[in-house]
Structure formats: C-alpha cells, structure tokens
Chain A
C-alpha cells in the first residue's frame, strides 16, 4: 500500500538539516523568512541562481536556512561580500538578509556606499531595535528613552531613520513594513527580486524575549499590537518624516525609481573597451 508522505510544500526552499532554527518564541524572523520563501515560490525563482548572504546576528542565520548558495560573513560585511559576488557574476540574484545592527552600525559604511553605487543587491533588513543575539544591547535603531541592557537609564542616542538613510544614499527602491504586514512585505520582496539596482526593505520586527522584556512588551503578541496600533500606511510619503516612535510607525513604499545599476554600467564599459581593443588589433 502506498504510504502518504507529508511534506511541507516549501521544504525545498529550506535546508532541513539546519532546522529547527535558533530563534526565540515570538521572534519576527520566522515571519520574514516565510515571506521571503513565499516570494521565491510565487516568482518560481531559479534557486540555482540565487545567493543569500547574511551578516552576524539572529537574522544572520537566514543564509544557512535557505536552500540556495549562501554565505554567512563576518559582522557587518554582508554587503561588501555581496558586492564582490554580484560584480563577478551579474547573472546571480544576490539577496542580503541581515539585521539593523549588522547593516547600520558595524556595516553602516558598506551600506551607504553599496546604495550610492546602486549595486544590484536586494537588502532585507530586519529591525528589532536592539542587538538580540548578544542579549539586548542598545543599537543604531534603538528608540530614544528605550531601555536595553546597555541603556539601563533610557537611551539618549538618536536612532537612524533607515528608510530616510537608504533613500538619501541612492537606493532605487525603499520600503518599510512590520511583520504584521505579511502580504505587503511579500509583494515588496517580489518587486525587488524583479527590479534592477540597490533595493532596500526594512522590516520592523518583534523581539519580545529581549527588547520587549525591557520595554513593557513581554510577548510577541504585545509587540504586534504595538505595530498594529502605531503603524499607518503612507506610501510615497517623505521618508525624512518617517521616524519611528512609540506612537507612530509610518510604513509603505517610499522610493521606486529607475536607475542603471553599477554592474550594468560596468559591464557595458567593459564591452566598449573590449570592442575598441579588438578594433585596434584588427
């Protein structure tokens, strides 16, 4: 008698040997990975031509979980590594999935320059407002007055507004969603996978075990309720006015423009130089 085999339809997108994941209960990382996999499935992406790169941090484990070519870099260097991959083989779809600390503190310089060059990399940044993996320290996106293990008296550092930074640095696509906006997030991921140039999606994500614990939101549900209450979709509004506060999380698409990517310009230049060189030889 034939035995029914139960297999999750998305299993082919994941490395089952690496599952279960390391993420805490209530963490939003699984939602982001889920949306990413849905987007890959809906687009029928060629997994042999997809490279997922992550830096260090909780979400940095994503590269290991996706069943594609993948690389887990040193802290902050995902975009610099990914730039080398994309330039060496522009046929590859290169996606960086990493955290706010990795991409904007230790890796901040690489971010602004990859965006400025319009390197054809798709960035999904999971913003959980703190360094989760090391136990919840204050970081470049921690809101003013928030409590963390290294801001026990309340944070006095002004946080980055990531969508404003990405737009100002030259990204051709900029969006922000929370883990509550799974359909819109999936649509955004699908969009960037089909778009040329440097694309940036910020996903505001719950970290109840660490960030929430210190800020009176002990469960994933409470954090999601905050997102629900505070978020408002204001597509193509001014990203400069989209700072995240406890009362207001502006979400939506902020930038969607066309600009030739670095790798396209570079390879066009190389072709021209080679044609010229061949003419000289001829």
Chain B
C-alpha cells in the first residue's frame, strides 16, 4: 500500500527522533504513551501524527510513571508498546520498568540521554544513564539496552529493540543521546517485506492448563494476552509459574529472580552485537558506543594513517555487557581506550572484562562530545 498509511520506504533525510518513531511503526508498534521531555519530544510529536494512520494509539499521560504503566497495560492487552523519554523521565520510569521486568511485559523504552544529574542540561548530550539502564530499578534482573550511533541506527535498532523485547519478554532500552536524536542524516527505510519483525510466542496449551510464567527451554514463558480467555493473573509480587503471589518462599524467589537474570545471560550470544573495525592486529583498541563511537572511528583511521595499529570495538549492545567480546580483544591488545560522555560508567565494565590489560579512560561532559583529535592523542599515549 502506498500513501500515508505505508512505511516511508526509500531514502530520506531525517532526524534521529523521527527515525526512531518510524522504526517503531515499522516494527509493528501500535501503542505509544509518553510525556513531553527534551530531547525526546519529537518522537512523541511524530507518533501523535503517524500512529492513527496505522490504527495505532498515541496517548499523552500525566507523567512518565503513568506512561510506563500504560505501556505495560497495552502490552498485556496484546499490542507492541513503547515510550520515549530522557534522564529525568527515565528516573521516574524505573519503578515500572521493574514491574515490566517482573511481569515479563515486552515493551521498548527509548532514553535520549542528556546532561544530568537532575534537570541538568536538557539540550545537551550525555551518556550518564548507561548504568541506570542496568541497575535503575530495585532488585536483580537482566535487561537489554542498545546504543545507536547514527540516525540510520535510530531506525534500525528501534526495530531490533522490539524484536528482542518480544523474543525475551523483557523491556528493551534504546539508549540514544541528544546528538543522534537531533542530528539529520540519510536514512534508508526498506519495504515492509524487507523488515524482519518478531512477535511474542503464544501459548499452545488448553486454556485451563496455561501457566503464564512457566518458561520454555529458552527460559521465556509463552504469553497470553487479556481477553483471549486464559483468565490469568500477573503481579509485581514474587510469583510462582501460575502467577500467584508467593511472598514468603525463598525457593520461588530464587527460581524466579534467577530465571529473570538467566533468560538474558544464557541468551547473550544471540543478543549481543558489536561492530569491529581493524581489530585483527590492533595494539590499541578504542571501546566506544553511541555518538562517541563516530569520533572514535575517525581517530582510529587517523591513527592507522600515521602507522599506529589501532582498532575500534563499537558496542551496539550495552546490556547484557559484551564481556566476551571485550575480553577477546583485551587478550591481544596492549591497551584499551574508553571515551565516554560521563565521569566513568561503562569503563568499569570494560576494566572488569579486560583484566590485566590497561584501560585509559577519557571523560567528557557538557556540550561537545570527544573530538577525533582528543581520542587520537590518548591512542598515541597508549600505543
């Protein structure tokens, strides 16, 4: 079908927020609940126009707590659902991100990172929420977080986020930053047939035999939705496979919480994605993600041009952390350089995986991300 209701198949000049919104539509998302916040507002604005064209729902809630709760409700009612926010809203969403983890509600949360803490710098970029993405809600859990480096990836990884979220019944986070969100670049949108989308697996047992939290071998339970006649219960309390609260059983707590962690950790090999640039013989490896990886790529090329054996490991998946991939390069490299727009967050994960290999950290806060020359200088010092 052509016209307004169709995907924007073809090449376009878009900003990252709009590309993300179009990616959501292409992924089959038909529910968006959100609250205005810079620099993620354009996602909501674009979806308020586009969702109805696809018969989807756009609703502006009273705050980010409600937005996240409504997303879980829509997910349980059978729709692919999403919200988008930035740091202050991401903090408010943590409560119900925990609820989505506990009730295994597939959904996507976009966090366009700006400068924090608190209200911070609304219009400037940051990478200060990457540990919050993993540890923001209380309790232990596994989660998936992706990091786009370009406007094209704002489109592509939004689709990927929905697919992962539907596969593993886990909230999946798209951790963009103000620059990839507001930058305009060329985006190629495939035809609907050219886009791979995944839907949650449905139960194939009689209604009275359905246990909503009984996992398959991949540790993910099939998901019935409200109104399908299964009449099941879900709760944020610790629950058994039937979904019934078991608040004083250490056995049920251990079984449930370990499964919530392991359904991600045991499927790491299928989830984790990195991009490797000239790593084969690299003495110095830059490990970077998001917009910073663009400057890192330029720095690595400049270093190669001047005879330094440099490489880039770009983390597309932030969580689960690509530990094996970092350990692998650490075994061969003499040094690792980690530039981040924060005071040192993912670098600690890199250090943990790198073991003996020295890790140099390059911190940047505020308006400008790292320049290629700044990263190149650290590469030179460590080669």
Which residues from 155 to 183 on chain A have a C-beta closer than 8 Å to any C-beta of chain B?
none
B74 touches A80 (CB 8 A): no
A71 touches B227 (CB 8 A): no
A18 to chain B, nearest CB (A): 6
B232 to chain A, nearest CB (A): 6
Does A109 make an interface contact (CB < 8 A)?
yes
Per the bound structure, the CA–CA distance linking A77 and B99 in Å amounts to 11
Per the bound structure, the CA–CA distance linking A230 and B217 in Å amounts to 60
Per the bound structure, the CA–CA distance linking A85 and B59 in Å amounts to 12
Give the contacting residue for A84; candidates B55, B69, B229; CB below 8 A.
B69
- Cβ of A15: which chain B residues have Cβ within 8 Å of it? 233, 244
Per the bound structure, the CA–CA distance linking A82 and B59 in Å amounts to 13
Does B118 make an interface contact (CB < 8 A)?
no
- Cβ of A74: which chain B residues have Cβ within 8 Å of it? 69, 95-96, 98-99, 236
Residue of A nearest to B229 (CB): A48
A281 touches B66 (CB 8 A): no
Does B214 make an interface contact (CB < 8 A)?
no
- Cβ of A51: which chain B residues have Cβ within 8 Å of it? 226-227
Give the contacting residue for A71; candidates B3, B63, B234; CB below 8 A.
B234
Per the bound structure, the CA–CA distance linking A74 and B72 in Å amounts to 11
A115 to chain B, nearest CB (A): 11
- Cβ of B1: which chain A residues have Cβ within 8 Å of it? 281
Which residues from 107 to 161 on chain A have a C-beta closer than 8 Å to any C-beta of chain B?
109-110, 113
A25 to chain B, nearest CB (A): 21
Per the bound structure, the CA–CA distance linking A228 and B241 in Å amounts to 44
B59 touches A87 (CB 8 A): yes
Per the bound structure, the CA–CA distance linking A15 and B239 in Å amounts to 15
B238 to chain A, nearest CB (A): 12
Give the contacting residue for A89; candidates B4, B72, B78, B244; CB below 8 A.
B78
Which residues from 35 to 90 on chain B have a C-beta closer than 8 Å to any C-beta of chain A?
52-53, 55, 57, 59, 61-63, 65-67, 69-79, 81
Interface string of A220-240 (1 = CB under 8 A from B): 000000000000000000000
Number of interface residues, chain A, beta carbon within 8 A: 43
A88 touches B74 (CB 8 A): yes
**Known contacts A74-B69, A85-B74, A87-B74, A69 near B230 by CB under 8 Å:** yes
- Cβ of A68: which chain B residues have Cβ within 8 Å of it? 231
Residue of B nearest to A78 (CB): B69
Query: Looking at chain B, what size class is its interface with the partner chain?
Result: 35 or more
A138 to chain B, nearest CB (A): 23
Per the bound structure, the CA–CA distance linking A84 and B236 in Å amounts to 17
B73 touches A274 (CB 8 A): no
Per the bound structure, the CA–CA distance linking A70 and B212 in Å amounts to 12
Give the contacting residue for B72; candidates A49, A67, A81, A269; CB below 8 A.
A81
Does B306 make an interface contact (CB < 8 A)?
no
B188 to chain A, nearest CB (A): 23
A64 touches B233 (CB 8 A): yes
Does A261 make an interface contact (CB < 8 A)?
no
Give the contacting residue for B62; candidates A17, A70, A109; CB below 8 A.
A109
A67 touches B61 (CB 8 A): no
Per the bound structure, the CA–CA distance linking A77 and B231 in Å amounts to 21
A83 touches B53 (CB 8 A): no
Per the bound structure, the CA–CA distance linking A85 and B96 in Å amounts to 15
Residue of B nearest to A273 (CB): B52
Given contacts A73-B236, A81-B72, A113-B61, 19 further A-B contacts (CB under 8 A): A17-B242, A18-B233, A48-B227, A70-B232, A70-B234, A71-B76, A72-B234, A73-B69, A80-B67, A80-B69, A83-B73, A84-B71, A84-B75, A84-B81, A85-B77, A109-B63, A270-B55, A274-B53, A277-B5
Which B residues have a C-beta under 8 Å from some C-beta of A?
1-5, 31, 33, 52-53, 55, 57, 59, 61-63, 65-67, 69-79, 81, 95-96, 98-99, 103, 226-237, 242, 244-245
The 15 sampled A-B contact pairs (Cβ below 8 Å) are A47-B231, A70-B232, A71-B76, A74-B236, A77-B95, A84-B33, A84-B77, A87-B59, A113-B61, A266-B59, A273-B53, A277-B4, A280-B4, A281-B1, A281-B2
Which A residues have a C-beta under 8 Å from some C-beta of B?
15, 17-18, 47-49, 51, 53, 63-64, 67-74, 77, 80-89, 91-92, 109-110, 113, 266, 269-270, 273-274, 277-278, 280-281
Sort A-B residue pairs by CB-CB distance and give the 10 closest, nearest first.
Answer: A84-B73, A84-B70, A80-B69, A88-B77, A281-B3, A72-B235, A80-B66, A88-B74, A84-B74, A113-B62
